[in-house]
Amino acid sequence: EKMGKKRKAAVQDTADDVAEDAPVTTEEKVGIPAEEKVDSEPKKQKAPKKPKKKKDKSKADAEAVEKAVAKAAQNTASTDSEEVAEQTARDQAVEYLEDWDTDRESWKFKKVRQIWLLQNATDKKKLNKTSFSIFLRYIEDLKGLSRTKTVEECRKMNLEYEQLGEEHEDERVEQKMKRKRLKAQNRRALKILKVLL
């Protein structure tokens, strides 16, 4: 019996040691019985639903304007990055042409630059006069599918310009701008066709 009491006492001491090491809750420190413990996270009560009010038309318009401004700002950010990418491509293509013109021994063919040049050669904003004149010399030796597609695209531009017909006084500004742009592109397209045909 003495051994049994000693073992029970040792087991009890171990249990007390473990209990001492266990984390103590705030309620236990304060002395609140376990039955009366309060949840540490209070339950959220739902707020009563408010009846929907009809929006004031001017308030709705203001919200629509705010949304449009936010969307425009988002589009501007993506447009800016697109403009930077376009400017970089333009600069690289012009440098490629200038290297071809001035230093052919170290110049290396780059398909990406040639494609950009072929797709954008008729646009004055993308390829200035000097670069365009170098481009015309560059395409003299153009062969294969690139030559065929370029001829097709230039003929297509020429046809589109001719289909516009004569300028009318009652044309809208947008139509006049389109005609002017197509006229400039057509001039360049005809020069390209003259070289390639």
pLDDT digits over 78-91, tens only?
Answer: 677 888 988 899 99
d(CA 173, CA 54): 42
Question: Residues 177, 136, 149, 194: what is their CA dihedral angle, to the nearest 10 degrees?
Answer: 80
pLDDT in tens, 143-185: 999 999 999 999 999 988 888 776 666 677 777 788 888 888 8
Cβ proximity of 113 and 96 under 8 Å? yes
What pTM value is reported for the model?
0.56
